[in-house]
Structure 1
Amino acid sequence: MPILLALDASSSACSAALLRRREGVDDELISRFEFTPRAHTRRLLPMVDEVLGEAGVAPADLDAVAYGRGPGSFTGLRIAAGTAQGLAFGLDRPLLGVSTLAALALGAHRRHHYRYLFTALDARMGEVYAAAWRCREGRVEALLAEAVLPPSRLCLPPDHADHDWVGVGSGWALWEQMPAQVQAGLSQCLPEMEPAAEDMVLLAVEAFAAGEGRPAHEVQPVYLRDRVAWRKSR
């Protein structure tokens, strides 16, 4: 059965996780998670070594590598992408990019059993990265596609506005800028939650089983707002 490694540096947190899926028994999931602003480069590879060592797994035993492909911090996404691509290329293993917003939704579903999750990350410049999801039995289904937009333009999925929605992610710290219809539709907000590799690896193993792994050079970060990266490079 497959063994997958996932890593993430898309936010102020840094994380790594290893999943060993075994037939007839519970999955083995080992993870590390730390809030490490401006220390992602220093901590990411040691975290990878820690989860591999705890699992007793050599890099060559991995079947695939996954990483948080965004949206999120531009610098963090590049750090994670470069690290994951280097590992996947060196091991000749497929690489999978996992949505940070989907991972946020799955994390809230796994920990609190919420079903309807509206994820939002602070994108700076007066905008948020946002998407809406329905979660059932450990799976996430997109109800609103990922987008970058001002908080004032957020809206609940039209066909699901009457459900009990929970907001997840740093974007909800901008609550006062949200439309009244969105505020009224949310029963709770969890602005402190960050994307985590342990949720990404669970999404990645399903994608891997569906044959979605790709050669390392074909998998790229998803910024949603490429013009910011262009401005910073000038």
Structure 2
Amino acid sequence: MSQRAARLQRARGALLGRLVGEALGATTQHLPPESLAALAGEGPLEMRGGGVHDVAPGQVTGEGELTLTLARELATEGSYERERVAVAYVRWGRSEPFDVPQPEGRAFPDFPETPSVAEGVAARADREARCAGALARVVPLAVWGWDLPPGELGERAAADARLSHPDPSCRHASVALCFALARAIERGGTPVELQRATLEFAREANLAASVQAALQAALGGAGARGAGASGG
């Protein structure tokens, strides 16, 4: 397989994996742990549909729809323009989506009465929200910008996160994940190699301490699993 074909395959895997994962999660959203265990059984989850939103098998919810919104903008325009993307997000919010997470519902319900849609949206975003909505939609940015300098791509990831999740830990988590995805698309590699590279990037970029701690904890867990496997 050529290098270009391998990168394309990894990029497809990143985007499809993001959406497939959400479609699986849509069925189990808001369910207690014991119900999740009963659904899963001893094997992987199936595309059942249903759940609190009564989704069709394979259907995504609000964050998946925003992921696709960003993907369409990048594919159509070939660049990330925050103002244009903010307009697209508000159009999604005005389309009466069946699932609207709280931060996105606050940021994207309608067009703000400001000269800049992006700045108006960001100004009313929930500064206390520390959930994963912005993180969930970062995959298209990595697919589009995998060959950009990490700092430049990170600026775009942070700018996009700020539209709905301005808390520094949310913005920096998006930066870290975007770096990890872009590097995986570019080079492949093992999970541990990718985690080490992402932690090194987070330290060099002075990302939020909470993000660095989460990356360090993940790397420690991966290292322990790797040691157990090699020992036994």
**TM-score, reference length from structure 1:** 0.27
- Greater share of residues in helix: 2
Q: Which of structures 1 and 2 has the larger relative contact order (alpha carbons within 8 angstroms, sep 6+)? A: 1
